């Protein structure tokens, strides 16, 4: 497999400590697709903006570590793209975000690492220096 990790990854990590930056989350979210039930074809998701996600997390009592709000934003939108049948309500999506970020037998960097692996597998390079 070709290495799609650019030289800017180390610098990105220094600035963002294993979390999504706002720019990277926005780029990743805008790439998300979900299956159209009527046609079976992929279509862009209806993106939930950052302020709405913040409000929904607060409304449902979700507490996440400092520095992880953009990771939460990415995850919330990922639930719409990847889990539309099992995570249908805002409350379920918010709980998924909290459980994923605060997973006691994982690490805070796991979400970004999974995203990085997914992009590499699909052959999509990430130019880390663009997302500082």
> Which pLDDT score is estimated for 7?
66
DSSP summary character for residue 49: P
The pLDDT value recorded for residue 2 is 47
CA atoms 100, 103, 108, 110: torsion sign: negative
The residues of the chain scoring below 70 in pLDDT are 1-7
Helix (H) or strand (E) holding 114: helix 110-122
Task: Give the whole-angstrom CA distance, residue 38 versus residue 86.
Answer: 18
**What 3-state DSSP class applies to 12?**
helix
Note whether residue 3 is domain-resident: no
The boundaries of the domain holding residue 46 are 9-131
* Per-residue confidence (pLDDT) for residue 1, from 0 to 100: 41
- Model pLDDT, residue 73: 98
* Per-residue model confidence as pLDDT tens digits over 15-51: 888 899 999 999 999 999 999 989 999 999 999 999 9
Tell me if 20 is assigned to some domain: yes
In the block, tokens 């409000």 appear at: 55
In a domain, 32, yes or no: yes
Q: What is the pLDDT of residue 75?
A: 98
46 exposure class (CB count in 10 Å sphere: 0-12, 13-18, 19+): exposed
Task: Answer whether residue 63 is part of any domain.
Answer: yes
Is 53 within the bounds of a domain? Answer: yes
Report if residue 119 sits inside a domain: yes
Residue in 54, 47, 57 with CA at minimum distance from that of residue 90: 57
In a domain, 2, yes or no: no
- 37 assigned to some structural domain: yes
Helices 110-122 and 69-82 pack at an angle, to 10 degrees, of: 50
Count structural domains, the chain. Answer: 1
């Amino acid at each position: 497999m070709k290495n799609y990790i650019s030289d800017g990854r180390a610098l990105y990590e220094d600035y963002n400590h294993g979390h999504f930056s706002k720019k990277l989350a926005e780029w990743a979210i805008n790439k998300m697709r979900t299956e159209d039930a009527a046609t079976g074809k992929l279509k862009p998701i209806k993106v939930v903006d950052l302020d709405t996600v913040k409000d929904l997390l607060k409304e449902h009592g979700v507490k996440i570590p400092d520095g992880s709000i953009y990771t939460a934003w990415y995850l919330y939108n990922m639930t719409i793209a990847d889990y539309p049948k099992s995570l249908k309500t805002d409350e379920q999506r918010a709980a998924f975000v909290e459980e994923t970020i605060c997973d006691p037998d994982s690490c805070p960097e796991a979400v970004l690492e999974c995203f990085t692996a997914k992009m590499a597998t699909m052959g999509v390079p990430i130019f880390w220096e663009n997302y500082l």
